[in-house]
Amino acid sequence: MSSVFSKQHKVIYHLHEYQHDSTNESYGGQAAQKLGISENRVFKTLVVSIDNKALAVAIIPVSAMLSMKLIAKAYSGKKAIMAVKIDVERSTGYVLGGGSPLGQKKRLRTFIDATAKQFTTIFVSAGKRGLEIELSPYDLANITQATMADICQ
C-alpha cells in the first residue's frame, strides 16, 4: 500500500502490517523478521533525558545500541539517560514498544542515526505494535525536523 503522507509534506510511504507476537519483547527485531528485511533498515524510536532537563528522540537501527555520550553531544548537552516511562508516554502519546517518531503529542528534538542515509527507505513504527511505515530517511528527517548524526555505539 503506497500513499501520500500529507498534503503539507507530500511524502510517499508504504504501510506494512504484521501479526505482533506479544510474548516477543524485541519489537523491532520482530518487525524485521516478519517483514523479511534486514534489522539495519528497521529503526527504533527511543526517548532520552538530556541533562535531566529536556527530552529528545533518538531513531536508531534495531541492530544497534544508542550511545548516551553521542546523543548528549548531538543535543549539545553533557549527559543523557533513558527517559522515564511515564514521561515518554506523556510527551509522545505512545506506549512503550509502539512509539513512533511521527505524530507525537509534543514535538521533541529528534536525531536520526546517520546510518539511515545509506538506505533509500527505512522502516519505523507507525504508532502501534505490528504496524511499520516505510519511507525515505530524508523525508522522515524533514517531517520530524530531525538532525542526522552518529549516535550509535
- Residue 63 burial (CB < 10 Å; 0-12/13-18/19+)? middle
pLDDT digits (tens, 9 = 90+) for 22-46: 665 666 777 877 788 999 999 999 9
pLDDT of residue 2: 42
Q: 94 or 152: whose pLDDT is higher?
A: 152
Reported pTM = 0.90
pLDDT exceeds 60 at position 4: no
Strands (E), 12-115: 12-17, 43-50, 54-61, 80-82, 109-113
Residues 111-148 have pLDDT tens digits of 999 999 999 999 998 888 778 899 999 999 999 999 99
The least confident of 15-19, 73-77, 90-94 is 15-19
Q: Quick one: pLDDT band at residue 3, thresholds 50, 70, 90?
A: very low
Distance from C-alpha of 124 to C-alpha of 33, rounded to nearest angstrom: 14
